[in-house]
């Protein structure tokens, strides 16, 4: 099981899309908000402030997916793609 959790460190708009581009989740997360992602290897994410979101994979914190105050889209949320980014120390 590859549990993926998004946790807002600072405010950020987050959009999760399935393989067809359909929106699965879209809203602004504020500090402390947590979103448990559905089981799927085909989800892609867009973040309005990518550095404000912590990504957890099976209880381990993944390294930041980008710098603070930067919009980033098309990020694969597949477990192997997240593992390739590496884990925070």
Give the model confidence (pLDDT) of 44-88 as tens digits: 999 999 999 999 999 999 999 999 999 999 999 999 999 999 998
Per-residue pLDDT at 1? 59
Please give the structure tokens belonging to residue 84. 């390739």
Which of 51, 54, 23 is closest to 38 using CA atoms?
23
Cα Rg, the chain, nearest whole Å? 12
Give the model confidence (pLDDT) of 17-41 as tens digits: 999 999 999 999 999 999 999 989 9
Q: Residue 72 region, left (φ>0) first, then alpha (ψ -120 to 50), else beta?
A: beta
């Amino acid at each position: 099981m590859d549990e993926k959790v998004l946790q807002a460190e600072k405010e950020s708009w987050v959009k999760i899309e399935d393989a067809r581009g359909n929106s699965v989740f879209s809203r602004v997360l504020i500090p402390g908000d947590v979103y448990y992602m559905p089981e799927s290897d085909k989800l892609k994410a867009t973040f309005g402030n990518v550095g404000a979101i912590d990504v957890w994979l099976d209880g381990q914190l993944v390294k930041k997916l980008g710098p603070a105050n930067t919009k980033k889209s098309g990020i694969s949320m597949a477990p192997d793609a997240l593992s390739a980014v590496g884990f925070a120390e």
